[in-house]
Structure 1
Amino acid sequence: MFKNASDQDGNHHSAGYLREVPWVAIPPVVTAIRVLEKIVPDGGLLFDTAVHAFKNTPAEPAASIRPNSLRGRIEDFATWASNLARCLGRDHESVPADPHGAIGLARFRRTLAWHIACRPGGLVALAIQYGHMRTAMSAGYAARGRDGIHELLDIETARATADTLTTLHDDLTHGVGISGPAARRAIHAAAQAPTFAGSIRTHRQARDILGNPALTVYDNPRSLLMCVYNRDRALCHRLAATDAPRLDRCQPSCANIARTDHHAAGLLAHAEALEKQSVSEVLPGPLTDRLARRAGQLRELADRHEHDRIHHQEPNA
């Protein structure tokens, strides 16, 4: 990374340095980067002008393609892909005309924000990449402009949070049970979901939701639980409490945990898969013992949910 890269004296380090935690990306992005790495020489930029510049165009030393050139190439690629689709009789795969104009680099910010915040497990990826759920990155990544990526990520994170609460509200309304030390706080938060569903359009609206401690409910499909965040009770922060959870550090004994019937079903499914692996004759004994032990722990969590689960009851009219 190059942004905010500095040496031990605080001076900008122009050569950049490797991130401690790698970026999380969807498979097509990883494939594209690997292709670019094979095209450019070792140590070169992925979009180095020395490799990607057109013939008869002087290449700048140690420089990348400028934004104007990239915008033109994006449009040229969309045209080429559409023509190829039509030639192959696959008109449905052509790139449709965009009512908002040319697809520039700034337009990819929204796509990036959506993929990070709204795809399954996206909030976990956001927690890993940025170290927190709320992306008001005043001291970190993103432009300071009004349309910086941090504002888009705030909006998409708030929408993902609203979707989580809306789904939880619908589940509870249809009789899905919930358990855990934070179950009642989750029910209270879900009850507010209808008031803001579909209304998050501006950064200010996003900040209002992300800044409301009563709405800090984050689904963590990787750990098969929900985090109803209260920083005074959080176990994901060992040294200092912050305003957002670390979903990559969920602790099973945390007081912020809640689970629904869906999470419990996931626990049982995972336990069954581990048990099948534990009886394999191919794996070494210590590993099979570990798998069987982990499967037993997951079943205990599912049994505890079944014993402790409660149901949301609508107030009497």
Structure 2
Amino acid sequence: MSGCPLQRISLTAHHGTCGKQGALKKETLTKRIESFVNWANREAEMHGLPDQTIPEDPHGPIRMGRFRRTLAWHIARRPGGLIALAIQYGHMRTVLDARTSSGYGSRGRRGIHAILDVETALVAADTAARLRDRAAAGEKISGPAARRALTAAAHAPRFEGRLVPRTFAKKASAFLARDGIVLYDNPDAFLICAFKHDNALCEPEPGATAPRQYDCRPGCGNTVRTDAHARQLRERADQLDQFAAHAPGPVSRRLRANAHRLRETAATHDSTAHPAEALT
């Protein structure tokens, strides 16, 4: 094959020689977003999913600023998403987790701290709303921070369908600074962390307003679990047993040991959990 290999796979707006490779222009990105919306709607219709179409926006076409926030919203709500969000936008503050880290090898772009704070606050509010809904549905709750988490969930705002203005960044920062009553979902550890700095076994930095979710440790005084977490623990244990059945001896033993530990954690929840009414 002849020609420039980069040109054949280029995502840029330029077509021609290799010398014209470069970043997408704002106008081209706007067109690409429009094309993406059209493609998503066609796919939704093709698969019979009309509720998944992207409706016409009363505030006008989606431009780069709003699309950036939309991407941030989806990234932040995936497991480990806040870390991925920090990497994507060029700054590791959520990993280092302290305001003082703003000078640590900073590649931060304008407004990145505000974006991270806003998304962190919205995710925390979503976690509180889910805990509130599960408690109202009759799920039992366990953990040393269960009572504190329920109190926090009862007073946490619900942000569904809300526009997020620029002024919300300061409110988000103040929301996260409420030590002991901000709830962080940790799907990898099958728990909610009602983060209180002095109780945290993950050894957060001084002044940190969020846990080190990648270093969650058993026995932490910030732990909260619901019946849903117990079910997830058992489902994960079943998956590990399936993996163990096809793994070499040493690996199989470790997998089965982990599965046993997860089932013990679920059993501890069952034996110590209480309905919300008994905890409030």
Displacement of 1:47 after TM fit?
Answer: 5.1
CA contact (8 A) 2:93 2:102 kept: no
Query: Match of 1:307, as an amino acid?
Result: S
Matches of 1:184 and 1:83 in 2, distance apart?
44
Output one character per residue of 1:184-221: Cα deviation in whole Å (capped at 9) or x when no partner: 2212212213xx22378422332232222243211111
Identify the residue that residue 67 of structure 2 maps to in structure 1: 108
Displacement of 1:314 after TM fit?
Answer: 7.3
Output one character per residue of 1:28-64: Cα deviation in whole Å (capped at 9) or x when no partner: xxxxxxxxxx9627xx9x656xxx5135x9955x743
Identify the residue that residue 302 of structure 1 maps to in structure 2: 266
Q: Which has the larger radius of gyration?
A: 1
Q: How does 1:200-279 map to 2 (within 5 A)?
A: 201=164, 202-237=168-203, 242-278=208-244
Displacement of 1:225 after TM fit?
Answer: 0.9
Displacement of 1:294 after TM fit?
Answer: 0.9
Identity %: 39
Q: How does 1:42-53 map to 2 (within 5 A)?
A: 52-53=13-14
- What is the alpha-carbon root mean square deviation over aligned residues? 4.0
> Does 1 or 2 have the higher relative contact order (CA < 8 Å, sep 6+)?
2
Does the alignment pair 1:170 with 2:136?
no
Matches of 1:39 and 1:237 in 2, distance apart?
48
Displacement of 1:94 after TM fit?
Answer: 8.3
CA contact (8 A) 1:127 1:247 kept: no
Does the alignment pair 1:188 with 2:154?
no
TM-score in terms of structure 2 length: 0.74
Task: Specify every segment of 5 or more residues in structure 1 that has no aligned partner in the other structure, as ranges.
Answer: 1-37
TM-score in terms of structure 1 length: 0.66
Distance 1:254 1:39, change over 3 A: farther
How many equivalent residue pairs?
260
Distance 1:135 1:157, change over 3 A: farther
Q: How does 1:7-86 map to 2 (within 5 A)?
A: 40=6, 52-55=13-16, 59=19, 63-75=22-34, 77=35, 81=39
Displacement of 1:118 after TM fit?
Answer: 2.9
Q: 1:160 aligns with which of 123, 140, 154?
A: 123
CA contact (8 A) 2:72 2:85 kept: no
Q: Secondary structure at the match of 1:184?
A: helix
Output one character per residue of 1:258-284: Cα deviation in whole Å (capped at 9) or x when no partner: 111111111112112222333x2x421
Structure with greater helix percent: 2
Output one character per residue of 1:81-106: Cα deviation in whole Å (capped at 9) or x when no partner: 59988xx9x9x798765443343322
Matches of 1:304 and 1:192 in 2, distance apart?
28
Output one character per residue of 1:156-200: Cα deviation in whole Å (capped at 9) or x when no partner: 32222111111111222333211122222212212213xx22378
Displacement of 1:113 after TM fit?
Answer: 1.5
CA contact (8 A) 1:178 1:259 kept: yes
Matches of 1:66 and 1:307 in 2, distance apart?
59
Task: Specify every segment of 5 or more residues in structure 2 that has no aligned partner in the other structure, as ranges.
Answer: none
